[in-house]
Amino acid sequence: MTRPRTVVIVGGGISGLATAFSLREKATQAGVPLRCTVLESDSAWGGKIVTHRVGDIVTEAGPDSFLSQKQAGLDLCTKLGLADQLINTNETGKKASVLSNGRLHDLPEGLLSFAPKQLGPFFQSGLLSWIGLARMGLEYVVPPGPSRGDESLADFLRRRFGALAFERVLEPLMAGIYAGDAEQMSLRATFPRFFELEQQHGGILRGMMAAKQSAAPNSTGRPRRTMFVSLKNGLGDLVTALTSRLEQQGVELRLGARVDALRVRSHELGRWMYDLILENGSAISAESLVLATPAYVSAELLRPLTPIAGGLLDLIPYASTATIAMAFPRSQTSAIEGFGFIVPRREQRDLIAATWTSLKWPHRAPSDQLLVRCYAGGVGREDILQRENQELVATLREELAGICGITAEPLYTEVNRWWKAMPQYTIGHLDRLVQLEAALSRYPGLVLTGAGYRGVGIPDCIRDGAEAAERVLQSLLGKGHHERERPPDR
């Protein structure tokens, strides 16, 4: 019998688990026997995906939904038998607002898909002055920028839509997703579609119109999905389903297994063996290694092998954030409707967004309660995370009271701090990834995946995990790039 090929995946967040899942699938199809181990330092699987269930309340400490347009998330749920658990947002109450000069204004619906389809609703919202509106409409005739080089998200949006639309609407809507600073974010790494639309169609509005005209009606027979979807009882079910399936498939899953160091030694016929040293002093070796850890962890592990890769990974900064869940009596918050609101940077608030979780997702709280999720922190606004829980909650309650009149005493409160959690794709990110690839090219079978590189959203991580799995398989099959140069034994 052929001996099984050995693969270790470090990191049991969605990226590492999705890599293991895809690798099992691909190896079985290719008839490659596999011994795969996933090592996770924490005492639970899922990384940033953490669902809490307290009585009838379901809260998400990290992500609460994922984009349905990116197929990888839906596909994985279907493969894991979770399709009937997928839930749409509650369309009856679909409405989001933005804070402007201390007052909430409705966001026109087209904006929720990240591009203003029509300017009409802006006229009623009072969000932008006539000058701001006119400038936004001129996007249609603004010539495209250069096709080479990188540009900040802020420069791009100001150039195309004008400074007012950027500051008041687009900045919180788009940079908010990354808890980032639009002035530093790379357009091409964070919103590549905008760059493509500009290059291919001359502008965003033109591109959106062309896409609308050529869009085929939904004839796939698949259920209609809202822009964001979730799982009925929380995204933690995705992690549970994934780990159970991996266990059934014979993947070794080890919690509390922190990898502290990495060595490489030559193996047979120009192949390398990767030795991992764990915190408890034990070691594990594999022919192929996937680092699905945050970039700053991978930097430390790789630095002794390739200081260049370590240095490049250090250039991916991470922002710290917090989500704060609060449940209020519905009777005292009956005026609250819609999905919540976002807060532009220019408002200089501690609260950066709030979601009315139980209005957006049914089943997340008893019907006599309003479950609210507040966001704080992000690039340049991280100081607030140093405050004690009580003080942090008090600050956000003051914000909620001032902005939307919620003065009730919360029935339930939960603070989740996420230190160095959101990778920032700053200007030049994609070029640095190319250099990283080059620095790692002499280590076949060593693959990086995770939110730090090619997309932070859950579907991006799942897709990237599948691509990492493909690269591992190709390397085990002796395909893909192979540097014959001998790496230094360590």
C-beta of residue 314 within 8 angstroms of C-beta of residue 371 = no
By CB under 6 A, how many residues form the interface with ligand FAD? 36
Helices (H) and strands (E) in the chain, counts: 17, 20
- Whichever of 128 and 421 has its CB closer to ligand FAD, that residue is 421
How far, in whole angstroms, is CA 434 from its chain's centroid?
Answer: 21
Do the Cβ atoms of 231 and 237 come closer than 8 Å?
yes
The reply to whether 347 sits near ligand FAD by the rule CB under 6 A is no
Q: Which regions of 247-317 does DSSP assign to beta strands (E)?
A: 252-254, 259-266, 272-278, 283-286, 288-291
Strands 412-423 and 318-329: antiparallel
> Among 293, 357, 426, 475, which residue interacts with ligand FAD (rule: CB under 6 A)?
293
Q: Which stretch binds ligand FAD (CB under 6 A): 13-21, 122-130, 248-256, 362-370?
A: 13-21
For strands 96-100 and 51-54, give the pairing. unpaired
Q: Exposed, middle or buried, 97 (CB in 10 Å: 0-12/13-18/19+)? A: buried
Q: Does 340 bind ligand FAD (CB under 6 A)?
A: no
What's the closest the beta carbon of residue 456 comes to ligand FAD, in angstroms? 4
Q: Does 297 bind ligand FAD (CB under 6 A)?
A: yes
Is 292 a residue that touches ligand FAD (CB under 6 A)?
yes
Q: Give, as ranges, the residues between 40 and 99 that touch ligand FAD (CB under 6 A).
A: 40-42, 47-49, 62-66
- Amino acid, res. 364: R
Cβ distance 41 to 256 under 8 Å? Answer: yes
CA distances for 103 relative to 27, 44, 113, 335, angstroms: 56, 41, 23, 15
The correct pick among 152, 321, 333, 475 for binding ligand FAD (CB under 6 A) is 321
Binding flags for ligand FAD, 420-449, as an x/- string (CB under 6 A): -xx---------------------------
Q: Alpha-carbon distance 421 to 118, whole Å?
A: 35
Q: Is 237 in the site for ligand FAD (CB under 6 A)?
A: no
- Binder of ligand FAD out of 12, 180, 203, 234 (CB under 6 A): 12
> CB of residue 65 vs ligand FAD: minimum separation in angstroms?
5
Cβ nearer to ligand FAD, comparing 119 with 227: 227
Question: Least separation, in Å, of the C-beta of 460 and ligand FAD?
Answer: 7
CB 431 within 8 A of CB 150: yes
Q: What secondary structure does DSSP assign to 455-488, as a single string?
A: --SHHHHHHHHHHHHHHHHHHHTT-S----SPPP
Q: d(Cα 261, Cα 35) in Å, to the nearest integer?
A: 21
Strands 5-10 and 34-39: parallel
> CB of 429: closest distance to ligand FAD in angstroms?
15
What stretches of 215-294 show up as alpha helix (H) in DSSP? 236-248
The DSSP string of 361-373 is: STTSS-TTEEEEE
Q: Which of 27, 34, 38, 39 binds ligand FAD (CB under 6 A)?
A: 39
Closest contact distance (angstroms) between CB of 80 and ligand FAD is 16
- DSSP string over 148-170: SS--BHHHHHHHHH-HHHIIIII
Scanning 78-86, 107-115, 147-155, 456-464 for contacts with ligand FAD by CB under 6 A, the matching segment is 456-464
Q: Select 253 or 408, whichever has its Cβ closest to ligand FAD.
A: 253
Q: Which residues contact 254 (CB under 8 A, 6 or more apart)?
A: 37, 38, 39, 40
Residue span 366-395 as binding mask against ligand FAD, x where in contact by CB under 6 A, dash where not: ------------------------------
Stretch that binds ligand FAD, among 265-273, 380-388, 401-409, 457-465 (CB under 6 A): 457-465
CB of 411 to ligand FAD, least distance (A): 23
404 touching ligand FAD, by CB under 6 A:
no
Complex with ligand FAD: residue 111 or 297, whichever CB lies closer: 297
Q: Which stretch binds ligand FAD (CB under 6 A): 39-47, 137-145, 184-192, 403-411?
A: 39-47
Binding to ligand FAD by residue 457, rule CB under 6 A?
A: yes
Cα–Cα distance measured from residue 44 to residue 257, given in angstroms and rounded to the nearest whole number: 11
Q: Which of 342, 367, 351, 380 is nearest to 104 (CA)?
A: 342
Find the shortest distance in angstroms from Cβ 85 to ligand FAD. 17
**Distance separating alpha carbons of residues 92 and 418, to the nearest angstrom:** 32
Helix 153-161 and helix 192-201, axial crossing angle in degrees, nearest 10: 40
Q: For residues 385 and 430, which CB has a smaller minimum distance to ligand FAD in the complex? A: 385
Q: Which stretch binds ligand FAD (CB under 6 A): 129-137, 161-169, 289-297, 329-337?
A: 289-297
CB closer to ligand FAD out of 379 and 461: 461
Which residue, chain included where needed, has tokens 């199809």?
29
The DSSP call for residue 272 is E
- Among 26, 206, 225, 258, interactor with ligand FAD by CB under 6 A: 258
Nearest approach, Cβ of residue 228 and ligand FAD (Å):
7
Residues that bind ligand FAD (CB under 6 A): 10-16, 39-42, 47-49, 62-66, 258-259, 292-294, 297, 321, 323, 418, 421-422, 450-451, 456-458, 461
